[in-house]
């Protein structure tokens, strides 16, 4: 649209509204149009006018007979709606802040400078004096790692599948480890800016027919166990992605916001 910084002319705004209605706005313009739609009644009116102009074309589509199950599916989704906003996401377990989770894999044996896991970060920093005494820190990390190992319920600590999630500019931003017992964890590798009123939603795609399934909702990037309980076992080349969504999660159970990162699973050697 217009150059950065200059206010758009009325013609530019009208063109943006028209392109939004036609579906022709590029992603940046589309984001602008959506922001204006919620903030600017005058722009909303432009959009309404364009919608009304083209609406006749919707009636030119040859009607298709929906399959018998469609209405039932809709009613089932709608009946689930009041809970859908809170419940499924609330089941994403918080990682234990102090005690290692059972499903948390054992850390590799600590080297000379072990890196704390991200969800340990607060703990680690609150005991910052460890870092000033390098040797003590290593020793403490060793204790922690041993503590982790003994709490594992005999499961293999090694993930059966790993996915590295990349940002649109191909920077690694998180890792998903899927374990043989059906659990999985997400480990962010960098912080992500989450605007006020928005959240990070984690999705996986196993079956194109079913579409992406929400497996977690986070207010910020942090390590979590992912909610794979209702899904078949994770397989190779399974897509994981994180999108930016409203704070209660996508209102429709499918990604609606921009993809912040994505990646597919591979088996480690």
Partner 1 sequence: MSQPDGDILDALRACQRGDQAGLRALYEREAPRMVGVAYRMLRRRALAEEAVHDTFVLVWRQAASFDPARGAARTWIYAILRNRSLNILRGETRTELVDDFEPMGLESEEEGPEGALMRLAESGRLRGCLERLEPDRRRAILLAYVRGLTHGELAGRFGVPLGTMKSWIRRSLLALRECLA
252 interacts with partner 1 by CB under 8 A: yes
Q: How far is the CB of 171 from partner 1 (least distance, A)?
A: 21
212 interacts with partner 1 by CB under 8 A: yes
Retrieve residue 185's tokens.
């964890």
Please report, as residue ranges, which positions from 30 to 89 form the binding site for partner 1 (by CB under 8 A).
44-45, 48, 51-67, 70-71, 73-75, 77-79, 81
Strand order in the sheet with 184-188: 213-218, 198-205, 239-246, 259-266, 161-166, 172-178, 184-188, 224-226
Q: How far is the CB of 60 from partner 1 (least distance, A)?
A: 4
170 interacts with partner 1 by CB under 8 A: no
CB contact at 8 A, 207 and 245: no
Q: How far is the CB of 245 from partner 1 (least distance, A)?
A: 13
Taking the least distance from each CB to partner 1, the nearer of 51 and 222 is 51
The angle at the Cα of 149, spanning 266 to 188, to the nearest 5 degrees, equals 45
CB contact at 8 A, 162 and 172: no
Query: How many chain residues interact with partner 1 (CB under 8 A)?
Result: 49
Q: CA 102 to CA 143: how far, in whole Å?
A: 16
Taking the least distance from each CB to partner 1, the nearer of 75 and 87 is 75
90 interacts with partner 1 by CB under 8 A: no
29 interacts with partner 1 by CB under 8 A: no
Taking the least distance from each CB to partner 1, the nearer of 63 and 154 is 63
254 interacts with partner 1 by CB under 8 A: yes
Beta strand pairing status for 224-226 and 239-246?
Answer: unpaired
Strand ranges (DSSP E) for the chain? 161-166, 172-178, 184-188, 198-205, 213-218, 224-226, 239-246, 259-266
The one among 5, 154, 209, 229 contacting partner 1 by CB under 8 A: 209
CB contact at 8 A, 53 and 45: no
Binding footprint of partner 1 on the chain (CB under 8 A)? 14-15, 18-19, 21-24, 26, 44-45, 48, 51-67, 70-71, 73-75, 77-79, 81, 208-209, 211-212, 251-256, 259
């Amino acid at each position: 649209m217009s150059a950065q910084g200059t206010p758009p002319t009325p013609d530019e705004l009208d063109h943006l509204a028209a392109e939004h209605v036609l579906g022709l706005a590029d992603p940046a313009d589309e984001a602008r149009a959506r922001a204006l739609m919620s903030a600017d009644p005058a722009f909303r009116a432009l959009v309404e006018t364009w919608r009304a102009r083209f609406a006749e074309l919707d009636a030119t589509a040859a009607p298709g007979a929906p399959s018998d199950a469609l209405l039932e599916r809709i009613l089932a989704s709608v009946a689930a709606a009041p809970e859908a906003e809170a419940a499924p996401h609330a089941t994403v377990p918080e990682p234990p802040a102090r005690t290692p989770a059972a499903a948390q894999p054992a850390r590799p044996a600590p080297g000379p400078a072990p890196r704390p896991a991200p969800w340990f970060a607060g703990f680690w920093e609150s005991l910052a004096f460890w870092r000033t005494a390098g040797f003590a820190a290593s020793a403490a990390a060793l204790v922690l790692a041993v503590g982790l190992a003994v709490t594992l319920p005999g499961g293999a600590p090694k993930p059966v599948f790993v996915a590295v999630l990349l940002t649109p500019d191909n920077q690694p931003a998180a890792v998903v480890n899927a374990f043989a017992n059906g659990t999985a964890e997400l480990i962010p590798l960098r912080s992500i800016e989450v605007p006020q009123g928005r959240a990070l939603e984690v999705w996986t795609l196993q079956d194109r027919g079913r579409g992406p399934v929400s497996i977690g909702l986070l207010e910020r990037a942090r390590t979590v166990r992912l909610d794979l309980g209702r899904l078949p076992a994770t397989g190779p080349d399974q897509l994981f992605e994180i999108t930016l969504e409203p704070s209660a999660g996508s209102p429709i159970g499918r990604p609606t916001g921009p993809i912040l990162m994505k990646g597919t699973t591979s088996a480690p050697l």
